[in-house]
Amino acid sequence: MKTIGKIIGFLLLIGGGILMFIFWLMAMSEWLGFLGTILAFILTPGLVVFPLVFWVVEGVFPTFYFTVWGIGIVGAIIAGIFSIGD
């Protein structure tokens, strides 16, 4: 049961992380073109700063980014609970 709990938690965490990265990658490539794509791989999103920049540049609050971030946190909590005692 612990294994399944950890699998679920880590999959949610990794899934959330991948979607956050795709969001970051797309935003960077839209703003800076090919250079943005390369920079997206080199730089880290800057978890809190990036959504604020996105909000300022696009004029839209990045709800999707925070939603998948929240799901990732839920995954981390699940993985943490099932990892207690390991």
Partner 1 sequence: MNEISTSIKIKNQKRNNFFIARIKKYQIITFTLGFLLFYRFIGTLIIYFFIGKETFLETYHELSVWFFVITIPITYLVQWLIATWVASKFTAKTLKEKFYHHPIATIIFIVLCLTDFPYRLSGSNLGSGLIKFINAFEIIIYYTFINFLWWLLICWMSSKIWKRQRFQWNLYKKTIDTIFTIIPPLYKFILGLIVALLLFIILFLLITTIFHYSGVGIMKLFTY
State in Å, rounded, how far the first CA of the chain is from the last one: 13
Instruction: Work out whether 67 is an interface residue with partner 1 (CB under 8 A).
Output: yes
Q: What letter would DSSP give residue 61?
A: -
Nearest residue (CB) to partner 1, 3 versus 44: 3
Instruction: Work out whether 32 is an interface residue with partner 1 (CB under 8 A).
Output: no
CA distance 50 to 52: 5
Instruction: Work out whether 65 is an interface residue with partner 1 (CB under 8 A).
Output: yes
Instruction: Work out whether 58 is an interface residue with partner 1 (CB under 8 A).
Output: yes
Q: Which of 21, 36, 39, 74 binds partner 1 (CB under 8 A)?
A: 74
Burial profile 21-52: b = 16 or more Cβ within 10 angstroms, e = fewer: eebbbebbbeeeeeebeeebeeeebeeeebbe
Per CB under 8 A, residues contacting partner 1 are 1, 3-4, 7-8, 11-12, 15-16, 23, 26-27, 30, 54, 58, 60-65, 67-68, 70-71, 74-75
